[in-house]
Structure 1
Amino acid sequence: MEIPLHRLNPAPAHRPPLTMAVDMPLPASRFLDAVELATLNRIGDHLCPGQPDLPSFSAAGVVSEFDRIAPGMHPRDLADLRLLLHFIARLPSPFLMGLLKLSHAASTCQWPVLAVLRQMEIGLSGLCYSLYYGFTQPASGPLIRDALHWDATISTELPGENEMTELIDLANPLKTTQDDWVSTIYQRAQTAQQRIGAMPVAERLNYLRRLKNILLARREEIVGQVVKESGKSRFDALVGEIFAVCDGLDYLLKNAGKLLKDEKVPTSIAMMGKQSRICYEPLGTVLIIAPWNYPFNQAIDPIAISFVTGNATIFKPSELTPLTGLVESVLQQAGFEPGWVQVVYGDGQVGSQLIDGKPNKIFFTGSVATGRKIASKAAVSLIPVELELGGKDPMLVFEDADLERAVAGALWGGLTNTGQSCTAVERLYVHEAIYDTFKAKLVARARQIRIGIDLDDDMGPMISDRQTAIVRDLVEDAERHGARRLTGEQWNGIDRRIPPIILEGSSHAMRINQEEIFGPVIPIFRFRTEAEAIQLANDSSFGLSASVWSKDMTRAERVARALVTGNVSINNVMVTEGNHYLPFGGTRDSGIGRYKGRYGLHNFCNMKSMMMEKMSGKIEANWYPYTAEKYRLFDQLTTGLYGGGLSHFVRFAKAGLGIESLAAKLWKKGR
């Protein structure tokens, strides 16, 4: 079923009619001329015509916000857009309507010949929906969002936490109490889930296919918003938020159909005549509470898994990186109906209230401390939880490793996303035979890292003053106890632009090697033997990820198997989480459950076991009534079935026939 992209739910009945002048003068733009702006308004009115209580695209005046999007566009994309707008400007309205309908139909088709139409649909509608749902002016913005049921609660901001992010305070459309808004969200989700759950998996995948195409077309816009709110470099945003998400969607498109089919499994010979299968059914409503370090990735990835498995989703982004309006915009453009995914903005208190609504599953990514609180709260109602928590990931470099590759891997693994990744290298162990050479190369390369958010920069600033202070406290504590910086000596402990810090001379007794740093700091150690390296790597309360570097693959695998962790990369770093065919998750304080891969997909399902056989008059051997003779025969059946060998199997068959005959006679007699 294809959902018209412009369809809006009616506004709440108590809303007064909204009137706005449609013929308002066009704004000036640094990027588009008057003809192009007018054409964009024409296209927007076809896609977002409004309702009696809602403004049309042009009436909302959102075309004036184009200059906020344009700087994040690639210059070539902007030039192509201008050419397309000039071409469309010459088209009569009937032709324009036909072209938009044709391009919309082409967006779900994979024929290469229709690629131009697909890109036109994705690019134009993506732009219009971004403006309409993301930048609607105050007079109409909350009304549109309320009518669509995307924004359900009041968002809050933590003062001083993140100057780069401005959150929007959205009034509750129904003027309900705090308890009422939670109930409203869950009631809406339950209604939506019936629609989603009734869809064939193939139909759900059609929505994800459109979503992937939309993300590709709007990648520069998405990267721009992520960079603005998180401070990460543009390259990190492109790789971690666009490439990784598209790869995850691609995995689902290729595999979810077969992985969610009923699975036939073998049946024991003792239950001959019966068939066994596993049915993968929706859980109901999934609550996703996301972190700030990969805000778009940790939104779309779990939302897509929740949706394809047939669940309704309630999504709460971090208050530090809410990406306000972006997730709603791409989902709406992909045809998701309101209620299928509800985005709720707010802080930890809002998350706690959402747990009180008793979802059917909680998927949380974040700190250990918050994970413990969520698990404790969920346990009261026996709500299943999946916790993707912190890490203290070790990297073990043996004497035969390729030095240049290992240094490059350590540098990227410890500093990517400014070290604000749960699988970042936080402890670097290097064999004593190569330690000095390795250290010299690592220090030299670390000093070359460029800090900033431009295309040629390697590492962005920290997300917040609070996170910066955590890094400062851990580094200063280590220095007080004898550690020394090999790089980053110039950092004042306040500036969010923390240079790479290579730290030598720390010990496992120090806080910096027990607590998660979540910043661009790499403590380096030397080791002598394989056993010592394993002991040091396992000396942690965490167990999320690790890497082992050696040309001796037998040794590398032996060491990898000895590490207490959920993921290990051999001669690479942080790659296990990039392969969506692998389950991802940790042990110890690093979390509960597995995410991604077939196991992660099935964790969002109710795995229902089913056994079937044709109706007959047969009485099972283990049913009432019991007698001494039935006990003797069942004992022979047990030893015959599991004793092994041909003679035992013959005994099993003979006992089986005898007990079936006896069971029928006993039932017929009544005792």
Structure 2
Amino acid sequence: MSTTLEPSAPASTASETFDSLDPATGDLVGTHPVMGRDEVDAAVARARDAVDWWGNLTFDERADHLLTWRSVITRRIAQLADLVHRETGKPHGDAQLEIVLAIDHIAWAAKNAKKVLGARKVSSGLLMANQAATVAYHPLGVIGVIGPWNYPVFTPMGSIAYALAAGNSVVFKPSEFTPGVGQWLADSFREVVHGRDVLQVVTGLGDTGNALCRARIDKLAFTGSGRTGKKVMAACAENLTPVVIEAGGKDSLIVDEDADLPKAAEAALWGGMANAGQTCIGTERVYVHEKVFDAFLAEILAQADGLRAGSDSGAKIGPITMPSQLAVIRSHLEDAVAKGARVVLGGPEAVGERFVQPTILTHVPEDSTEITEETFGPTLAINPVKNMDEAVRLTNATQYGLAGAVFSKSNGVSIAHRVRSGMTSVNSVIAFAAVPGLPFGGVGQSGFGRIHGPDGLREFTYAKAVTRQKFAPVMNLTSFARDSATDGKVAQLVTLLHGGKQTLR
């Protein structure tokens, strides 16, 4: 297949444009059109036409196209990773990692859609024994996706790939910070489907996303802040369009007294600092059993030695992609210090004009914004706890409920089940995101709905129930010819089936 990408859609008629900039240098990466309501509606109309073809393919035919797309992305992974690096500032290795995970999810969705969504038999029960019953999951139609900038391939792909595998077409509005990545994905898929408008991109700012919410789509999947998520829901409500919302998190990592401390420290450091802390499922809080608190702190500080943010090849951490977040990070650190937190690495002065150096605070007051609000920077708040009951209580004392991690040799799983979140890893960090068969999503202010896994496939479908009469019923209950004798027999039957006292075992 040619490496030259075809245009993703008819050229925009918009006269207004916006620039995509390298956050590490401020250099221009690309210029893109600001698409308005008319252009968004036109894209949705094209998607509606395209789904007549895509949605009527067999599961196997769609899988062939999706697996071809997977192969195209895999062969061009260096090209895409470089674009992700330039638009987000993250190191090339981190860019490649998120693409690798996205590739695996495309493959899983393609290979499992038929098994998850295809028609299956359902027991009809004794009353309806003359009926054959089946349920299948049909595509909704056109899915709108509004993606984030922090993981511009992996995160939206959790909606895009699963929606496509289910038989929908997709109109994707990437973040204004990473429009080139979104365009690249749509262009590469367009090659696979020979120019059809199955996956399209609409670029622009907030008004473009608003237009997509109000367009005649059948569902919208959004990833971003809770504040914007509420606006998305309000806009979608005008047309009663259902939504999937993946908002932020304030995830914790719990360290029990029997934990492998070097591994726990390694996970906490990476979970908090990777991608400059700009990870919705990253670690922001750490609760450590007081018996091992000092040892854990010494271990994580030793591992953090030499870790720094920068744009050179020796830096493991990139810039803050969204400039406005710098003030948020600084304010959280200043609030924590003002309320008595101890700075053991970095601090408020670690916040620069583009980069934030790794920062670790301890004994952070639970009412400080460093604990209560999403910081989205390379910071960790590490606090001692008396026991795991306190660790769970403090972990759950948040409006969020997205993810988290637990390190314990003997009680990890039991502790994990007590954490109020959609996902928890035991003795690892964010491992659940790399398991395609697991659902991904949160509770509370972290949102609702699920992507990934069987739940993610069904999220973009509706259940279709069908019954077929196999033979005439012994008693015809759906007829005005039904008499009192039949009613009596029905009463006797239901009493026999359900009237007895049930003994629970």
Coarse TM-score class (shorter-chain normalised): over 0.9
**Residues 79-126 of structure 1 deviation map (CA, whole Å, 9 limit, x = unaligned):** xxxxxxxxxxxxxxxxxxxxxxxxxxxxxxxxxxxxxxxxxx4xxx12
Matches of residues 52-131 of structure 1 in structure 2 within 5 Å? 121=1, 125-126=2-3, 128-129=4-5
The letter for the 2-side match of 1:258 is: K
Of Structure 1 and Structure 2, which has the larger fraction of its residues in helix?
1
Aligned to 1:259: 116
Q: 2:447 aligns with which of 591, 598, 615?
A: 591
**Residues 377-421 of structure 1 deviation map (CA, whole Å, 9 limit, x = unaligned):** 222321110011111101110000011111111111111111101
Aligned partners of 1:484 and 1:503 also within 8 Å:
yes
Indicate the SS of the match to 1:195: helix
What is the CA-CA distance between 1:633 and the residue it aligns to? 2.9
Aligned to 2:297: 439
Indicate the SS of the match to 2:144: strand
Give the TM-score taking structure 2 as reference length: 0.93
What is the CA-CA distance between 1:618 and the residue it aligns to? 6.4
The letter for the 2-side match of 1:307 is: L
Indicate the SS of the match to 1:213: helix
Aligned to 1:157: 18
CA separation in 2, counterparts of 1:450 and 1:317? Answer: 29
Aligned to 2:230: 372
Matches of residues 427-506 of structure 1 in structure 2 within 5 Å? 427-453=285-311, 456-489=314-347, 491-506=349-364
Aligned to 2:414: 558
**Pair 1:610 & 2:466 matched:** yes
CA separation in 1, counterparts of 2:74 and 2:14? Answer: 30
* Alignment CA distance shift 1:301-1:565 (3 Å): closer
In structure 2, stretches of 5+ residues that fail to align are none
What is the CA-CA distance between 1:335 and the residue it aligns to? 3.2
Aligned to 1:89: none
CA separation in 1, counterparts of 2:250 and 2:82? Answer: 30
* Alignment CA distance shift 1:562-1:639 (3 Å): same
Larger radius of gyration: 1
Aligned to 2:259: 401
CA separation in 2, counterparts of 1:332 and 1:622? Answer: 51
Q: 1:191 aligns with which of 49, 52, 55?
A: 49
CA separation in 2, counterparts of 1:516 and 1:150? Answer: 39
**Residues 247-277 of structure 1 deviation map (CA, whole Å, 9 limit, x = unaligned):** 1122123322322321222221221121111
What is the CA-CA distance between 1:548 and the residue it aligns to? 1.2
Aligned to 1:168: 31
What is the CA-CA distance between 1:450 and the residue it aligns to? 3.6
Q: 1:319 aligns with which of 160, 176, 185?
A: 176
Indicate the SS of the match to 2:437: coil
Q: 2:381 aligns with which of 514, 519, 523?
A: 523
Matches of residues 235-274 of structure 1 in structure 2 within 5 Å? 235-240=93-98, 242-274=99-131
What is the CA-CA distance between 1:535 and the residue it aligns to? 0.7
Aligned partners of 1:151 and 1:343 also within 8 Å:
no
What is the CA-CA distance between 1:336 and the residue it aligns to? 4.8
What is the CA-CA distance between 1:150 and the residue it aligns to? 7.0
**Residues 338-371 of structure 1 deviation map (CA, whole Å, 9 limit, x = unaligned):** 3211110011111111222131000001110011
* Alignment CA distance shift 1:617-1:268 (3 Å): closer
* Alignment CA distance shift 1:599-1:150 (3 Å): farther
Aligned to 2:160: 303
Indicate the SS of the match to 2:135: strand
CA separation in 2, counterparts of 1:537 and 1:404? Answer: 22
Q: 2:210 aligns with which of 352, 365, 373?
A: 352
What is the CA-CA distance between 1:310 and the residue it aligns to? 1.1
Aligned to 1:287: 144
Aligned partners of 1:193 and 1:312 also within 8 Å:
yes
CA separation in 2, counterparts of 1:273 and 1:183? Answer: 47
Indicate the SS of the match to 2:389: helix
CA separation in 2, counterparts of 1:635 and 1:152? Answer: 68
* Alignment CA distance shift 1:164-1:321 (3 Å): farther
What is the CA-CA distance between 1:157 and the residue it aligns to? 3.4
* Alignment CA distance shift 1:272-1:421 (3 Å): same
What is the CA-CA distance between 1:180 and the residue it aligns to? 3.2
In structure 1, stretches of 5+ residues that fail to align are 1-120, 134-143, 173-177, 647-671
Aligned to 1:424: 282
Query: What number of residue pairs does the alignment pair up?
Result: 499
CA separation in 2, counterparts of 1:333 and 1:429? Answer: 49
Q: Identity across aligned pairs (percent)?
A: 32
**Pair 1:332 & 2:193 matched:** no
The letter for the 1-side match of 2:218 is: N
CA separation in 1, counterparts of 2:20 and 2:66? Answer: 37
The letter for the 2-side match of 1:399 is: E
Of Structure 1 and Structure 2, which has the larger fraction of its residues in strand?
2
Aligned partners of 1:428 and 1:525 also within 8 Å:
yes
Aligned to 1:276: 133
* Alignment CA distance shift 1:617-1:594 (3 Å): closer
The letter for the 2-side match of 1:149 is: P
Aligned partners of 1:277 and 1:610 also within 8 Å:
yes
CA separation in 2, counterparts of 1:244 and 1:291? Answer: 16
**Pair 1:621 & 2:477 matched:** yes
CA separation in 1, counterparts of 2:34 and 2:365? Answer: 51
Query: What's the C-alpha RMSD, in Å, of the aligned pairs?
Result: 2.4
Give the TM-score taking structure 1 as reference length: 0.70
Aligned partners of 2:69 and 2:192 also within 8 Å:
yes
What is the CA-CA distance between 1:211 and the residue it aligns to? 1.1
Aligned to 1:20: none
Q: Bigger shift: 318-327 or 220-229?
A: 318-327
CA separation in 2, counterparts of 1:165 and 1:265? Answer: 57
